[in-house]
Amino acid sequence: EAGVTQFPSHSVIEKGQTVTLRCDPISGHDNLYWYRRVMGKEIKFLLHFVKESKQDESGMPNNRFLAERTGGTYSTLKVQPAELEDSGVYFCASSQPGTALEGYTFGSGTRLTVV
């Protein structure tokens, strides 16, 4: 089966611009997660979708970040306007319900650089 796909793999934008990251989860996975790793720091939770609904967005840094999951399929994470501190690697992951011990399937991440 296809894995979790993220694109772009890299994005370099100027401060103040808008960037949209996309994640295609494994088909049939109801749970979709976004995480972020700022350089040298831990990977931090951003939010969790169950199908098209936001289950938990407590990790979203501020209102410049907007996540959507259209029809419970792919998800987008938009940053508008981007700031320097938004630079990092954004990971998407998906899972089936009831598979806590099996872990998530992660994508390769999008490396965002804001200059």
Partner 1 sequence: AQTVTQSQPEMSVQEAETVTLSCTYDTSESDYYLFWYKQPPSRQMILVIRQEAYKQQNATENRFSVNFQKAAKSFSLKISDSQLGDAAMYFCAYKTSGTYKYIFGTGTRLKVLA
Per CB under 8 A, 74 contacts partner 1: no
CA atoms within 13 A on the CB side of 97: 4
Question: Across the strands, what pairs with 15?
Answer: none
Nearest-angstrom CA–CA distance, 94 and 113: 24
Could you tell me the two tokens for 14? 């100027």
Per CB under 8 A, 107 contacts partner 1: yes
CB of 24 to partner 1, least distance (A): 13
Applying CB under 8 A, among 2, 14, 28, 42 the residue interacting with partner 1 is 42
Per CB under 8 A, 13 contacts partner 1: no
Count the residues of the shown chain that bind partner 1, applying the rule CB under 8 A.
Answer: 28
